[in-house]
Amino acid sequence: MDVYSVLQQLLRKAISIEMISSEDEVYARNQIMSLLALNEFRCDEPSEPNKDIPDLLDELTDYAVGKGIIDDLLDEREILSSQIMNVFMPRPSDLNQIFYEKYEEPENATSYFYELSRNSNYIQTKRISKNINYKADTKYGELDITINLSKPEKDPRQIAKEREKKDLSINYPKCLLCVENEGYAGRIGHPARSNHRMIRMDLGGEPWFLQYSPYVYYNEHCILLAGEHRDMVINREAFERLLEFVEKFPHYFIGSNADLPIVGGSILVHDHYQGGNYHFAMAKARDEYSFTLDSFPTIKASTIKWPMSVIRLRGLDKEKLVAASDYILGKWKNYSDREANIFAYSGETRHNTITPIVRMRNGEFEVDLVLRNNRTSDEHPMGIFHPHADVHHIKKENIGLIEVMGLAVLPARLKTELAEVEKFLLEEPNQIEEYHVSWAEDIKARSSTGISGKSMQEIVRKEVALKFLKALEDAGVYKRNGDGQAAFRRFLDSL
């Protein structure tokens, strides 16, 4: 590899996508030469000018490993790649100035920031492209299915080295979301963030920060985080912020994971929300039962046709929607129904909470309140309203905000495991996992006619989506049957 040619390709690429101007070329080259311990430059023109930035970064980190500049560890490669791309990034103050100059049209501002986050390799486009994505039609609309292959696998040698080098005494930044991650070089066990930037904004009279997810699961998958490191909480102030955000960015939805274990997300130690420019199946779900809230007669309220238990509110008055949402949350927190197996408390331990999602539609605010309960039992030790054991071979992780809306994030193991299921169904030699066998036999019994090699992948993918749908139904506090819907009406009547 000619390191000088690769470096020049990277510089030309950065200029072509307007990360830097031609006047910045020499400066940027010298900065990157320093990172690569190069004392001179010997290249006039790059030989292969059409490579993408992630591929060029891989070649430069390979060079650094070969020269002993860094160890061959994933985290050290990430740190160097991030430092290289930081050379092309504006300072946070400059970025925010550009963003708000473009904010006259909010979509222009977010599009600019999203493209910058992609071009800078902060959003891991090369890795994300490895994911398996498809849609599956169900009685609730098209569900999105993602088999997540974007997170790089670490071999045992790397894991051992990282364990040896990881310094557990460091507590900075406090978590992966803290604002202190902006520009942080990273270390063994904490991701590189030299090329990371955030947009500043005021929500509810306090500082909040907008960024994109490094591993986006849908278009413009953003994260909105509190400046203060504090626990997740769903309360009146949360509803105020969510509605204020979509007022500022009406082309985005915004939502929050629930604030309790089991039904919450993977990070409960930092108050944050997730949003983006995407329409999930749940957003398209039709109204099913309309009702009136006596205390809020101007708000349109309904349940929707969805496997989970959702109350949808619509209206023009932001303050009334906040008050109505907070009212429903307060009622639900203390609501029990023995007949429906719903208990608000075990002693002093609270079980009821809400997953809220907010969007603008046809000039109105629209608030979806998804009722959640995190109680466990001997029969369902991972959660009564959590994916049950019969779907764990496909999905056993929490049903968080993204899944609630109809996007399954499934484990990487399924890529190879489902290929073996297909072979099993075609009666070819296979190495099917034992935990898939009864499912595969059931598929075979129901698909005894019309199975062919051409259609097998489609059949298995549809069956995976049906398992995810079953996981959503398991997570619904009111089941989609007569007794469940009657119990749902009892709660609505209590409002």
Residues making up the chain, counted from first to last: 495
CA distance 151 to 241: 31
- Residue 408's CB: how many other CB atoms inside 10 A? 25
How many CA atoms does the CB half-sphere of 9 hold within 13 Å? 21
Collapsing DSSP to helix, strand or coil, 208 comes out as strand
CA distance 59 to 2: 9
118 phi, psi to nearest 5 deg? -75, -50
CA distance 486 to 341: 13
pLDDT tens figures, 206-237: 999 999 999 999 999 999 999 999 999 999 99
| Residues 6+ away with beta carbon under 8 Å from 85 | 53, 57, 120, 121, 122, 194, 195
Tell me which H or E stretch contains 358: strand 352-361
CA distance 482 to 477: 14
pLDDT tens figures, 310-365: 999 999 999 999 999 999 999 999 999 999 999 999 999 999 999 999 999 999 99
pLDDT for 455 equals 87
CA distance 9 to 53: 9
Contact between 319 and 381 (Cβ < 8 Å): no
pTM for the model: 0.95
The amino acid that residue 352 corresponds to is N
Cα 102 to Cα 90, 98, 108, 110, 112, distances in angstroms: 15, 6, 6, 9, 8
Tell me which H or E stretch contains 365: strand 364-373
Number of H helices, E strands in the chain: 16, 15
Query: For residue 340, what is the DSSP state?
Result: G
CA distance 461 to 395: 14
Q: Give the residue carrying structure tokens 């569900």.
A: 143
The amino acid that residue 4 corresponds to is Y
Q: What are the structure tokens assigned to 395, written together?
A: 């999905």
The amino acid that residue 190 corresponds to is H
CA distance 188 to 168: 10
CA distance 279 to 23: 41
DSSP 36-75: TT------SS-S-TT--HHHHHHHHHHHHHHTTSS-S-HH
- Report CA 294 to chain centroid distance, whole Å: 36
Contact between 252 and 338 (Cβ < 8 Å): no
Q: What are the structure tokens assigned to 141, written together?
A: 């609309």
CA distance 119 to 117: 6
CA distance 259 to 333: 12
How buried is 21 (Cβ within 10 angstroms: 0-12 exposed, 13-18 middle, 19+ buried)?
exposed
As averages over each run of 10 residues, the pLDDT of the chain (495 residues) reads 92 96 97 97 71 96 97 94 98 98 98 98 97 97 97 71 75 96 95 98 97 97 98 97 98 97 91 98 97 96 98 98 98 98 97 98 97 97 97 95 97 97 95 97 80 79 97 98 98 97
Buried-state track 298-335, b at ≥16 Cβ within 10 A, e below 16: ebbbbbbebbbbbbbbbbeeeebbbbbbbebbeebeeb
Tell me which H or E stretch contains 145: strand 141-147
- Residue 358's CB: how many other CB atoms inside 10 A? 27
